[in-house]
Structure 1
Amino acid sequence: MKKSISALALLVSTAVVGTATPAVAAAADQDSHRHCIANLDTGRITCASDQQQARRLSGISAAAQTIAIFYDSTGYDTGAGTFTWTQSRDCTPGYDSEWQWDDLNSIGWGNRVSSVHTYNQCDVKFFNKVNFGGAASTWIDQSSNLANIGDGWNNRAGSVKFS
């Protein structure tokens, strides 16, 4: 089952105001909300000043599991920010794009991912333009420095597929 979510249709919940606002607010609040969690089952995004606070505020059920974490720095460094992707089931072993995000710019993560780690049998495939356009990376399980993947994928992703 493929699940595609348009970022523009989402609501973002923030720790400071505690209310739902359009997804573009996530990009505007990058300094105070550098760590975000997206629940791909519901489309809800929660951002906070650290990963633990974002997870607590997200209300993500115990059944939800992390499938990938994007890092704004190489070496899985959390200092500049993270974006955690969750959903309720494991990815399948085949590369069939169970989930996808068509515009990383709309959540403040376009051309920003420098390292990635995946979990629960998932891999990611980056595209350098929104809506899965332009060049595509290989399927990536983990990389502490995306500059070392193919022609270099550091700070290059505009959209992503998960499988």
Structure 2
Amino acid sequence: MITFRKHSGIYTLEAETQLPISLKEAWSYFSSPKNLQEITPPHMGFKITSKPFEKAFSGQIISYNVGILPGIRTNWVTEITHVEEQKFFVDEQRFGPYSMWHHEHHFEENDKGVFMTDRVSFKIPLGFLGDIAYALFIKKQLQGIFEYREKKLKEIFN
């Protein structure tokens, strides 16, 4: 399930996914930046441009090049700011298309495997023009990215 809300001038997307895998397997997959390209829609042409490390760690800087709109590519730099092994990690944009991007990845083991929650708080630049862009295409684009991600994960792990 994917939900959006706006508060204090920022938006928050929340996506929940249940996967029939162990917590150890989920952590191993998601804490490796090398797997990001596999779960990003192909039309975005996602490419890591920094040296990818095997596992995420606090302070890690990851740079990407990605298509944000048809014909428009941008560089995006994030930092892994918090890591609690097999519980959560956080990446935050340092440079990129948003005024703010704070992405929490939470993992919880249950009797069906692992329940994952992504919580992305973000601010769009350009004030009210950014809000119009959100309504016209940013919300739909983000929803499509997370829907693709869930579908792809279910293909990989089912």
TM-score relative to the length of structure 2: 0.29
**Higher Cα radius of gyration:** 2
**Counting strand residues as a fraction of each chain, which structure ranks higher?**
2
| Larger helix share, 1 or 2 | 2
Q: So what's the TM-score if we normalise by structure 1?
A: 0.29
